[in-house]
């Protein structure tokens, strides 16, 4: 999808996949048999956190000085180092490429494009599924059985969620609109809170006694 109206009048396009940004940071100035416009393109990458993906972020890309040589004439051209400021919209995905037209290497009156590949840094609290987020919250066997309140992470901080009685391992709670925004849209994904019931490793004699009584009653109910 195309993006217009960013600071500096940049024209930006996002494409899924594309060339590996680490394969070659800078294209050859004149590639044999390649399109000249494409050979003036520059490739680099930026890293974003999930929180920045949710809100959008600004980045300054540093382009070092480069010297290129025309293989036909042997003429060398020095391209001075410079910085390019870009705004990355909310909702971008890992691996997407942004095109900034006119910010590649210049040859006379023409210039290539700057391609920026987005790398989203993994957040151990969340798993991203499209625009939805999934997180895991641990519950004690008491809270799982009787219900209660638990703390769940969101991109805006911790929130309290109600836990229903008789919650089973793997049950989940859906928090609408707490996921990531859809690129170039006002729609947002959801946050799914999955519950994981934990069993205490060290029981006191009294706790063990109570659990044995509970187990005896359960067995009696089944007969």
Distances (CA, A) of 121 to 7, 11, 21, 47, 101: 25, 25, 15, 6, 26
Q: Looking at 73-77, 173-177, 204-208, which range is the least confident one?
A: 73-77
Q: What is the mean pLDDT of the chain?
A: 83
> In the prediction, which pLDDT does 75 show?
79
Q: What is the rounded average pLDDT of the residues 6-15? A: 40
The strand pairing partners of 93, in sequence order, are none
| Predicted confidence (pLDDT) per residue in 98-152, tens digit | 999 988 877 666 788 999 999 999 999 999 999 999 999 999 999 999 999 999 9
The CA R_g of the chain, rounded to the nearest whole Å, is 27
Pairing of strands 57-63, 82-88: antiparallel
In this structure, are residues 152 and 193 in contact, taking their beta carbons and an 8 Å threshold?
yes
The candidate with the shortest Cα–Cα distance to 98, out of 55, 48, 44, is 44
Query: Over 50: is that where the pLDDT of 16 sits?
Result: no
> 9 pLDDT band (50/70/90 cuts)?
very low
- Structural domains for the chain: 2-120 (2.60.260.20), 127-222 (2.60.260.20)
Task: Note the pTM of the prediction, 2 decimals.
Answer: 0.74
> 12 pLDDT band (50/70/90 cuts)?
very low
Number of neighbours of residue 3 by Cβ within 10 angstroms: 18
């Amino acid at each position: 999808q195309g993006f217009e109206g960013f600071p500096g009048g940049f024209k930006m396009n996002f494409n899924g996949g594309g060339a590996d940004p680490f394969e070659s940071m800078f294209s050859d100035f004149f590639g044999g048999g390649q399109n000249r416009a494409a050979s003036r393109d520059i490739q680099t990458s930026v890293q974003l956190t999930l929180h920045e993906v949710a809100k959008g972020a600004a980045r300054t890309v540093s382009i070092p000085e480069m010297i290129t040589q025309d293989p036909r004439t042997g003429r060398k051209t020095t391209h001075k180092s410079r910085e390019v400021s870009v705004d990355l919209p909310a909702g971008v995905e890992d691996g997407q490429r942004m095109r900034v037209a006119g910010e590649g290497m210049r040859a006379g009156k023409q210039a290539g494009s700057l391609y920026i590949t987005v790398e989203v840094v993994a957040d151990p609290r969340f798993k991203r599924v499209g625009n939805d987020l999934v997180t895991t919250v641990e519950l004690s066997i008491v809270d799982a059985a009787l219900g209660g309140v638990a703390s769940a992470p969101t991109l805006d901080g911790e929130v309290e969620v109600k836990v229903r009685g008789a919650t089973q391992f793997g049950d989940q709670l859906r928090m609408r609109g707490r996921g990531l925004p859809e690129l170039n849209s006002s729609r947002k994904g959801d946050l799914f809170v999955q519950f994981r019931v934990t069993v205490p490793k060290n029981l006191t004699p009294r706790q063990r006694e109570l659990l044995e009584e509970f187990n005896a009653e359960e067995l009696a109910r089944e007969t």
